[in-house]
Structure 1
Amino acid sequence: MTTITAPTTGPAANVRSARRWLALSVLALAQFLVVLDASIVNIALPVLGEQLGMDTAALSWVITAYVLAFGGLLLLGGRLADRYGHRRIFLIGTAGFVAASALAGLSVTSGMLLGARALQGASAALLAPAALALLTHLFPDTKDRTKALGVWGGVAGIGSAAGVLLGGVLSATLGWQSVFYVNVPIGAIVLIAIPLLITRDTVGARGKLDIPGAVTITGALVAAVGALSAIEQVGLTHPLTIGLAAASVVLGVAFVVVERRTAAPLVPLEVFRNRNLTVGNIVMLLIGAAMVALFFALSVYMQAVLGYDALATGLTQLPLAGALVIVAGIVPAVISRIGAKPTLISSLAVLAAGLVWLSFAPADAQFVTDILGPSILIGVGMGGAFVTTTQLSVDGVEGGESGLAGGLVNTSQQIGGALGLAVLGTIASLRTEALLDSGVAAPEAITDGFSWLFLGTAAVAVLAAIAAGFARKS
C-alpha cells in the first residue's frame, strides 16, 4: 500500500478538531464549490449573454476569467497558506469567493461580471490548496487519511460532473443569476462552521517572501492558460496566441532560475524528487484535460444535436455523477487491498473504455441505448482516478509544504483543463467545419466532430495510465 507520510512540521502541524470528519465534510463542501464553478456556468451562457449583451467571444471570457485567475494564482495561494496559516488563508479565500459570487449574480454589465469571475478565481486559488493542506493535518494516520482523501478526490470528480447537472436545473428554474447565488448560503455555512470545528493554526516563518518567484510563476501560468484559451478563440497562429505562449516560456525559465538561486524559494524544485507527487500531478493534468473537454462537448451535443433543453441536459448527468459517488466511497478500501498504482491504472482503463464507447453515439442517439452505458463507465473511471491521483499528489509531503502540494495538484487540474479544451475543442471544430464544407448536414457534422473529441479524451486517459505506471510501487 502507498505510504502517506504524516506531517510533522509547518504552520498547520498543530491544527486539531474534535469532530474532524464533520470538519472534512465542510472542507469538501468548499472544494465542491470551487470545482463546480469552473463548469456550472456553461449551460447558463446563452441566456446570460442575451441579457447582458455579450457576443460569443465575450461569453468565452466568462469561463476564461475564472480559469486564468484560479490557475495562475494557485501556487502563490498554496505558499501563502504555508506561510500565514492554512485555516486563516482558507477563511479569507472562502469569504472572497462568497463576495465575488454575490457580485457576479448582481452583475448588470459584462465588465462587472468578468471582474467578479476573476475575483472568484483568485479567491479559489487561496481556498483550494489551504483546504487540502488542512485535510492532511487533520488526518495524520495513514488509514484515516486514505479514507479522507477518498472523500476529497470524489468531491473533485463530482464537482466536475455536477456542473452540467446543477447549471441546467438552476438556470432553467431560477435564472442565470442562481448559478452564482447558490454559492452564497453554502459559503456562509463554511465560514461559520470551520472556526467552530478546526482550531486556529500557527504561522510559518516570517522570513522574506519569494516575490520574484511569485511574480514569474504567476505570470507564466496566466500566460499559459491565456495562450491555451486563445487557441480556441482566435486560432493557433494568431499573434496573441504566439505572444502569450512565448511569454509563458520566458517567464517559466525565469522562474526556474529564480528558484535555484533564492534561499527561500516559492516552490523548492526538490519537491519533484518525490516520484509519486510528480506522477500524481502529471496524471491530474491529463485527467483535467480529458474531463473539461468531455463535459463541454456533452453539454453542446445534448442541446445542439439531440435537442435537449438545459434542464434535461443537466438531468442526463445524474447516472455519471451517481456512479462517481458510489465508486469514490469504495476506492479507499480497494487501495488498501491492492494498492494505489493498480487502482489508478485500472480506473483510467475503465475511463478510456467509456469514452471510446461514447464516441459511437450517433446524431439521433437515444439516451438509454447510446448514452447511459458510457456515462456509467466514465463515472466509475473518474471516481477511481480522482481519488487515487489526489492521494499520490500528497504522498510523503511534509507539513511545511502541504499548502504547496495542494496548490500544485489544483494547478495541474486547471492547466490540464485549459489545455484539453483548447486542443481537443479545436480538433472537434476543425473536423466539423471540414464536414460542413463537404456538404454534410449540421447534426451529423457536429456529432462526428465530437466523436473525434471523445476519442481524443480516451487517448489522453490512456496516456495518463501509462504515466501512472511510473509511480512508486504500492
Structure 2
Amino acid sequence: MQPTPSTTPSAREPADPRRWWLLTLVAIAELMIILDIYIVNIALPSAQSALEIPDASRHWVVTAYAITFGGLLLLGGRVGDYWGRKRTFTLSLVGFGVASALGGAAWSPELLFAARALQGVFAALMAPAILSLLFVTFTDPRERAKAFGVWGAVAGTGSAIGLLLGGVFTEYASWRWTLLVNVPVAVALAVAAWWIVRESRTDGETRYDIPGALTSTLGVTALVYGFTRAESDGWGAPVTLALLAAGVALIVAFVAIERRSANPLLPLRVLTDRNRAGSFAANALFAGAIFSYGVFLVYYLQGSRGYSAIESGLAILPLTLAAIAFVSIGARLLPRVGPRPLTVGGFAIGAVGLGWLALIGEDTSYMAVVFPGLVLLGIAAGLVWPVLSNTALVGVQPRDAGAASGMVSVAQQLGGALTVAFLNTLAASIAEGRVERDGDAALAAGLIDGYAATFAVGGGLMLLGAVVSLLTITRRLPASEQDAELPDPELPAVNEEPAVAGARAA
C-alpha cells in the first residue's frame, strides 16, 4: 500500500500555539548538554582527589562522555524520526537525569566513568531531537530564524556559563553538584515536555539500518577516541594510528552501506545539497575554532594568571553577553540578507577575535587583549551558530529531520575533538621547545606561547570557515516552505499522533 503523500507541517495545519514554550524547554535542555561538557572540567581536580582517581585514568571523566555522545548521534537522530521526537526528547531527559544522579553520588572512579558514559548516551538522543523539534515546529522562516537564534545563543555561550557555574559549585558547595544540578532540571523539563511538546514522527517504513548504525557508531567512536588518545599518547603512537585508521575505514564502509540501503540511517540525499554540505563543513570548522578558546583561555587565566575558577568564569562572561546581543540581530537579518553574508562576516569577526587573543603575554592587560577578543568571539558565535544550524536544515524533508540534526551535532563533535587534540599537542610541543632552548625557568613563558599559538590556529580555522561559507553557502535561502525541497510522494509522510493533535485542538 502506498504511503500518504507527504506535506510539510506548515501546509497541513496552523502553527503550534505552544511553540514558544517549546523553545524555552529545548533551549534549557541544550544548555544542560553544553554545561555538562564544561562544568565537569572545572570540578575534575576535586573529583579526582575525592575518589582517588589515578592521573592516568582521570581523562575518562571527560572521554567517556565524549565517546558515547559523539558515537551515537546519528543513531539518536534516527530514533527520534522513527520512535517519535517527543518521546525521544522526554526519555532522554529522564535518562540524563538518572545518569547525573549516579555520577553525583558516585563512590568509585568506575561508577563515575560509567555515569558519564550514560550521560553521553542520553545526550546523543537529546541533541538531535532538540534540533528536529525546532525544525518541525517552527515552519515560518522568520520565526524559525528567531528560534535557531535562541538555540545558537545557548550553544555559543554555554561554555562560559558552565565554567562560571563549575567554579561556584566547586568552591562553595561540592564537585558533586556539578552533576546533581541536572537532576531537578531534567525532571522538570521532562514533565513540562510531556504536556507542551507535540508529537511527530516518520510514518511508513521505519526499520532501522542496523549495519549502518553499527558502522557509523563504531566509526565515529573510534575517531573521537583516537583524537583523545592523540592528546596523551601522541599522533604517532600505534594505538592512536590504529584507532584513526579503524575510524576512517568504518566511515567508508558506512557510506558504502548507505548507498545501497533501502532505509538508510543517514540518507545521502541529506549530504548532496550544497548549502547543507557547506553548513556541515563550516560547523566543524567553527566548533574547532571556538573550542580552542574554551580550553586554552581557561588554562591561561587560571594557570598563568592565577585566576580562581569563579574569576575565570566571570572573565569570560563578555563573550556570553555579546553572543546574546548579536543572536537577535542575526535572526532579524537572516530572512532579509540570507546566510552567506552573516556566516562569512561572522567567521571574519571570529578570526579577528582569536587573532587578538593570540597577543596574550605574561603581563597582558585583560581589558586591552582578553576582553576585546572575547567580545569579538561572542559576536561571531551569535551570528554563525544559529545561521549555520538553520541553513543545515532548510529544505530537509521532515522525515529526515533527525538524520540531518544528528549530522549537525556530529560535525561539531568531530571538529571540536580533532582540533582540541591537535592544539594540545601543538601547545605542549611549543612549551617543551622553549624549555629546551632557554631552560626550566622559561616554562611559564613557553606555556603562554603555546596558548597564543592555539588561538592563532583557531583564527586560521575561522578564515577557512569564511572561505567555505563563501564558496558553498548561497546568498539567499528559500523564502517559504513552498520554495524549499518538495517532498517525494513515493516516500513516507511525517504525521502527528492523532490523539495529541486532537488534544491540542481541544
TM-score (norm 1): 0.95
Partner of 1:457: 458
State whether residues 145 and 387 of structure 2, in contact with CA within 8 Å, keep that contact through their aligned partners in structure 1. Answer: no
- Aligned equivalents of 1:243, 1:270: Cα separation in 2: 31
The answer on 1:205 being equivalent to 2:204 is yes
Partner of 1:274: 273
Structure 2: which amino acid aligns with 1:115? A
**Residue-pair matches, total:** 466
Partner of 2:373: 374
Residue deviations 1:178-212 (CA, integer Å, cap 9, x gap): 11111112111211111111233355335432100
State whether residues 152 and 327 of structure 2, in contact with CA within 8 Å, keep that contact through their aligned partners in structure 1. Answer: yes
Q: Which runs of 5+ in 2 are unaligned?
A: 1-5, 477-506
Partner of 2:483: none
Residue deviations 1:132-152 (CA, integer Å, cap 9, x gap): 111111111111111111111
**Percent identity over the alignment?**
37
Partner of 1:4: none
Structure 2: which amino acid aligns with 1:463? L
Detail structure 1 runs of 4+ shifted over 6 Å in the superposition: 13-16
The answer on 1:234 being equivalent to 2:236 is no
- Aligned equivalents of 1:54, 1:327: Cα separation in 2: 42
Correspondences of 1:70-469 after superposition (within 5 Å): 70-202=69-201, 204-438=203-437, 439=439, 440-469=441-470
State whether residues 14 and 202 of structure 1, in contact with CA within 8 Å, keep that contact through their aligned partners in structure 2. Answer: no
- Aligned equivalents of 1:287, 1:164: Cα separation in 2: 20
Secondary structure of 1:67 counterpart:
helix
Partner of 2:29: 30
Secondary structure of 1:57 counterpart:
coil
Secondary structure of 2:139 counterpart:
coil
Partner of 2:475: 473
Structure 2: which amino acid aligns with 1:159? G
- Aligned equivalents of 1:172, 1:278: Cα separation in 2: 44
State whether residues 57 and 233 of structure 1, in contact with CA within 8 Å, keep that contact through their aligned partners in structure 2. Answer: no
Task: Tell me by how many angstroms 1:284 deviates.
Answer: 0.8
User: Alpha carbons of 1:108 and 1:421: their partners in 2 closer, same or farther (altered >3 Å)?
Assistant: same
State whether residues 161 and 320 of structure 1, in contact with CA within 8 Å, keep that contact through their aligned partners in structure 2. Answer: yes
Secondary structure of 1:253 counterpart:
helix
Task: Tell me by how many angstroms 1:163 deviates.
Answer: 2.1
- Aligned equivalents of 2:338, 2:13: Cα separation in 1: 30
User: Alpha carbons of 1:54 and 1:326: their partners in 2 closer, same or farther (altered >3 Å)?
Assistant: same
> Over aligned residues, Cα RMSD in angstroms?
1.7
Structure 1: which amino acid aligns with 2:35? L
Q: Which has the larger radius of gyration?
A: 2
Q: Which stretch has the larger CA shift, 383-392 or 341-350?
A: 383-392
Residue deviations 1:11-60 (CA, integer Å, cap 9, x gap): xx989742211111111110111122112211111111111112333222
Residue deviations 1:303-326 (CA, integer Å, cap 9, x gap): 110011111111111111111111
- Aligned equivalents of 1:107, 1:27: Cα separation in 2: 28
Structure 2: which amino acid aligns with 1:185? P
Partner of 1:66: 65
Secondary structure of 1:308 counterpart:
coil
- Aligned equivalents of 1:100, 1:18: Cα separation in 2: 33
Structure 1: which amino acid aligns with 2:80? A
